[in-house]
Amino acid sequence: MNMSEHTQQNEHKTEGTPLLDDPRMSTRGVDVFYGDKQAIFNVDLDIGKNQVLAMIGPSGCGKSTFLRCLNRMNDTIDICKVTGSISLDGEDIYDRKIDVVELRARVGMVFQKPNPFPKSIYENVAYGPRIHGLVDHKVDLDEIVEKSLVRCGLWKEVRDRLDQPATGLSGGQQQRLCIARAIAINPEVVLMDEPCSALDPIATATVEELISELSERFTISIVTHSMQQAARVSQRTAYFHLGKLIEVGDTDQIFTNPTHQLTEEYITGRIG
Amino acid sequence: MTTDVDKHNLEKRRAHIKKRYKAERRFRSFGIAAVSFGLLCVVILFTDIIGKGMGAFRQTYVQMEMTFDANTLGITDANDQAQVKGANFGGLVKKNLRDAYPQYKTRKDKKALYGIVSSEIGLILRDDLLANPEKLGTTETIWLLADDDIDMHYKYALGTDKQVGRISELQKNIVDELHAAGKVEKRFNRLFFTNAASREPELAGIKGALMGSFLTLIVTLILSFPIGIATAIYLEEFAPKNKITDFIEVNINNLAAVPSIIFGLLGLAIFINFFGVPRSVPLVGGLVLALMTLPTIIISSRAAIKAVPPSIREAAYGMGASKMQTVTHHVLPLAMPGMLTGTIIGMAQALGETAPLLMIGMVAFIVDVPSSITDSATVLPVQIFLWADSPERAFIERTSAAIMVLLAFLIVMNSFAVWLRKKLERRW
Ligand SMILES: Nc1ncnc2c1ncn2[C@@H]1O[C@H](COP(=O)(O)OP(=O)(O)OP(=O)(O)O)[C@@H](O)[C@H]1O
Ligand SMILES: [Mg+2]
């Protein structure tokens, strides 16, 4: 990268209120590179306790990339390099002392594409509690599985076929199963990458209810392409554009009175 | 309303579709032709081998009156094992033959007469008497294993002028007489499956080679399966992607293409000369074949691991699974069918391998059936090679029969691979 480009990027400033007083997670000066290509530029952002933060922006702007930094999923991509600092409850999650396995148990993730394990429905939900040793008895495990599936509105549909392959479910059912799998281990922060893109309006409503319910106890960050959804479920909204965090603010304010011109163009439908 | 442009496009499209179908048909007929040609070759090969080898599964026996004469045997007590073991059974057989055909008096005729039955028949009679001592002094009508030349004549030239094998006119007459009296018949050749190699074709069997192959393959499997799979997993999932792993990858791919005889030389230099492992034993054969099959197993296992969708790994990591858990819980079960298929194909390759085993001395003539991996042994393909090289007419039959046995094993192994893959894959 040449010098002038670099200074130009550092000049960029996020509009609105990216920083909070008592954040759950916070990122400072985060850059992400895929090989030589930079995907995220110098992002400072706080995610508040028991809040839902919505991330919006045109396709390819780096929402998924940024989200994946928050539980170090980008570690699994060889060419991906993350710099800057990201902390959970004031602890740097990229610190050597941090055990990434434990971090991912605390910061759960639902992926953009449904990715159930090619095992039974039951095994999918039971997997997390099993590997983290959360239960000692089968009855407890059964209870966790049932509760998680109920909360995702999937229980009624799958109660008779828990031992059937999860890959036999429809796309929307698979996505709800993945949400159930993620919340079965009670993560403190849940990252959701377009969780409703494959869902019908009814299932979407269920998931949105779940998000509201979860936010009473957990911190949630959700990527969405639906402005209505962002408006319905989130307290704060962040707008990304070409790898830069353009504007952050209270959801009401972003949708009614955006500061930055790009944000306004996006939410009024002129970009994206 | 259709415009001229629409019409023009329609015609063009139709012409194009015709061309596409034509190309498809052409490709299909090429395919069918290629497959048919291949099948034809296989059928010709199989009919040739089966036609030549079937005979070896039946063996000629002749009926004789046999008196267990204590004097001729030179023993007094049949219950005394040492005595029976040292007894002159060769003389006994000759005496009984002379008594049965007193008209042949000259040395040459008598020699031909003795050549009717297998030269090792005395050993068979000895075992008989050892098992049934009360037979001493009695006369029995028993079926004796015929000599290989008699066997060949009886199977392929009886009643014709054809000369098959080294059989004299006198012997031909005797066989004709016996045949007319119903005193000669073909029976299932049990010895072929229970004996090891022998200089006498009528006594030669494949049990020694089969056991040798079995022991060798066990060693190969025990070494190459875990090492191959562990290597593949390490290279795919754990090893850092850098110049060194690239170098290793190139080398593994290279090894898969190295002629197998080189592995034999390697085994000779390292295992036998350097580590002092004995020659000709299944242990060293298995070591060499393990080296040879490793690249096959590693390459197919790596391909199987690569084929596991990355989203599954991501899901596991996202749940907080460690690398090892991700591999053992998700990657391995999904990659297992491919790994097993690769392993079985490697094993089938090893079963049919000859050249490297010649280098490490598994070509020796071994009369005992090996019972452990440190007994001298030979293997099926080497046995085939040895028999194919033998001058006796009867060994031609046995060569083909041994090939049939080898092919049967290969077919079983490969069908097993297909079955296993289907079974494991169908889980979801
Ligand atoms: N594994 C990867 N290797 C290389 N480049 C990548 C990789 N993943 C993402 N990128 C690049 O990073 C940029 C941001 O991608 P990202 O997936 O974060 O976008 P997004 O905002 O989630 O888009 P969408 O809304 O379509 O999901 C894109 O330019 C993309 O090409
Ligand atoms: Mg995305």
In the predicted structure, residue B107 carries a pLDDT above the cut 80: yes
Between these two residues, B425 and B269, which has the higher pLDDT value? B269
For A2-45, the pLDDT digits (tens) are 444 444 444 578 888 888 888 999 999 999 999 999 999 999 99
Judge whether B135 lies within some domain. yes
ipTM of this complex: 0.89
Q: Rounded CA gap, A221 and A101, in Å?
A: 20
Whether residue B357 sits in one domain with residue B225: yes
pLDDT at A1: 39
- Interchain proximity A73–B318, CB inside 8 Å: yes
Contact A263, A15 (CB under 8 A): yes
DSSP B268: I
pLDDT in tens, B160-219: 888 887 888 889 989 999 999 999 999 999 999 998 888 888 899 999 999 999 999 999
| B290 and B385 assigned to the same domain | yes
C-beta of A64 in contact with ligand 1 (< 6 A)? yes
The pLDDT assigned to A7 comes to: 41
**pLDDT tens sequence across B257-300:** 999 999 999 999 999 999 998 999 999 999 999 999 999 999 99
Sorted by where each begins, the domain ranges of chain A are 15-267
- Alpha-carbon gap, residue B197 to B206, rounded angstroms: 7
Instruction: Write out pLDDT tens, residues B225-242.
Output: 999 999 999 999 888 888
Q: Indicate whether B278 and B352 sit together in one domain.
A: yes
B111 within 8 A of B70, measured Cβ to Cβ: no
CATH superfamily of A15-267: P-loop containing nucleotide triphosphate hydrolases (3.40.50.300)
**Within this chain, do residues B171 and B220 fall inside the same structural domain, yes or no?**
no
> Do B368 and B297 belong to one domain?
yes
| pLDDT at res. A218 | 86
pLDDT value at residue A4: 41
Question: Has residue B4 been placed in a domain?
Answer: no
Q: B321: distance to nearest CA of chain A, Å?
A: 6
- pLDDT by residue (tens digit) across B124-167? 888 888 888 888 888 889 999 999 999 999 988 888 888 887 88
| CA–CA dist B312, B331 (Å, integer) | 8
Instruction: Number of A to B CB contacts under 8 A, please give it.
Output: 63
Number of domains observed in the structure of chain B? 2
In a domain, B18, yes or no: no
Q: Domain check: are B185 and B278 in the same one? A: no
The pLDDT value recorded for residue B426 is 57
Check residue B367 and give its pLDDT. Answer: 86
- pLDDT block averages, 10 residues each, chain A of length 272: 44 79 92 95 92 94 94 90 93 90 93 92 95 91 95 91 92 91 93 89 88 88 93 94 93 91 87 58
pTM for the model: 0.83
- Which protein residue has the closest C-alpha to ligand 1 atom 3? A34
3-class DSSP state of A26: strand
Q: Which residue has the tokens 């008989």?
A: B128
* Dihedral angle over CA of A88, A92, A93, A98, nearest 10: -110
CB A64 within 8 A of CB A193: yes
In whole angstroms, give the CA distance from residue A154 to residue A173.
7
Backbone angles phi, psi at B8, to 5 degrees: -60, -45
| Percentage above 90 pLDDT, chain B | 57
Per the domain annotation, does B71 fall within a domain? Answer: yes
- Position B387 in a domain: yes
Q: How many CB atoms lie within 10 A of CB B207?
A: 16
Tokens of B427: 């889980």
pLDDT of residue A251: 94
Domain boundary among B189, B216, B238: B189
Is pLDDT above 80 for B326? yes
Cβ of A30 below 6 Å from ligand 1: no
What pLDDT digit, counting tens, does each position of B33-91 carry? 999 999 999 999 999 999 999 989 999 999 988 888 888 888 888 888 888 888 888 89
Could you tell me if B185 and B222 lie in one domain?
no
User: Which amino acid makes up residue B1?
Assistant: M
For residues B151 and B249, state if they share a domain: no
In a domain? residue B220: yes
Nearest CA to ligand 1 atom 23: A60
Q: How distant is the Cα of B389 from the closest Cα of chain A, in angstroms?
A: 55
Assess B242–A contact: CB distance below 8 Å, yes or no: no
- The closest alpha carbon to B355, from B376, B375, B385, B377, belongs to B385
B400: in domain: yes
Domain enclosing residue B350, as ranges: 207-424
Measure A219 CA to ligand 2 centroid, in angstroms. Answer: 20
Looking at the structure, tell me whether residues B271 and B237 fall in a common domain: yes
Mutate to test the pocket of ligand 1, among A38, A55, A65 (most ligand atoms within 8 A of CB): A65
The yes-or-no verdict on residue B2 having pLDDT over 70 is: no
